[in-house]
Amino acid sequence: MNRKGFIKRIALGSGLIFAPFVKTESKTLTTAPALVRPPRVRPGDTAAIISPAGNLVGNGDVEQAMASVRELGFKPKLGANVGSRWGYLGGRDSERISDIHDAFADPEVKLIFALRGGYGSSRLLPMLDFDLIKRNPKAFVGFSDNTSLILALNMFSNMVTFYGPNAHFDWTNYTRENLTRMISNQNPAGIMHSPVASNGRPLHSHTTIVPGSARGPLIGGNL
């Protein structure tokens, strides 16, 4: 898909994410198809680590990322081009897109982590094979610059994606527990409680800005 075609699809498809309900005088019509939920991840499953955005910062980044994935209970599997550099990017566009497609097509891989953010994932959007990804739904996790991939996969592959930590991240027990709960359980997430300080008190308080109840897709991100 060329860039012009991709931008056109963004314009046509944006209503599926941000305006999924059409109100009429008699009833509400749902225009968005039901999202595909990736199969839940189990302890011991293989998790791919790919580098769709920026390159490595330090020599021990990959080892740290792999150790973090192991602590979650998964087996890390590096993309073929992890560790490549092309300027400030984690490899050439062709290398980074290849690792994305390989991870989704690999039957051994059940979970995919972005190695880090930075910049560069948006360059890959016109190259994504959304049909291939849709045929192989898997939990894709990342944040920061990888938000562009998370939203694109959600929109064009109609797949639930997870705005969460990159593999190279300062993981805490709170983060590990909540991410594992989200990707390993098909039940609703429920209330996200605040992390607890050493004195046993919550670090943050919940504040209601506008009271009431609402229902709809949860879209998050940070570019």
CATH of the domain at 89: 3.40.50.10740
Token pair for residue 216?
Answer: 């709809």
Model pLDDT, residue 17:
37
Instruction: Give me the chain's average pLDDT, please.
Output: 86
Q: What angle do CA 87, 88, 89 make, to 5 degrees?
A: 90
pTM of the model: 0.82
| Structural domain for 152, as ranges | 47-181
119-165 residue pLDDT tens: 999 999 999 999 999 999 999 999 999 999 999 999 999 999 999 99
Residue 82 lies in a domain: yes
Examine residue 131 and state whether it is found in any structural domain, yes or no: yes
Q: Is the CB of residue 55 less than 8 Å from the CB of residue 120? A: no
Amino acid letter at 99?
D
Of the candidates 40, 14, 43, the one whose C-alpha atom is nearest the C-alpha of residue 152 is 14
- Residue 121 in any domain: the answer is yes
Distance CA 198, CA 207 (A): 22
Residue at 221 is within a domain? no
Assess if residue 83 is contained within a domain.
yes
Cβ-in-10-Å burial (0-12, 13-18, 19+) of 72 comes to buried
For the stretch 52-86, pLDDT in tens is: 999 987 889 999 999 999 999 999 999 999 999 99
- Cα Rg of the chain (Å, integer): 18
Report if residue 204 sits inside a domain. no
Q: Work out the angle at residue 42's Cα, subtended by the Cα atoms of residues 174 and 75, and round it to the nearest 5 degrees.
A: 85
In a domain, 194, yes or no: no
Query: How many domains are there within the chain?
Result: 1
Percent of the chain at pLDDT exceeding 90: 61
In a domain, 5, yes or no: no
pLDDT in tens, 189-220: 777 788 888 888 888 888 889 999 888 888 87
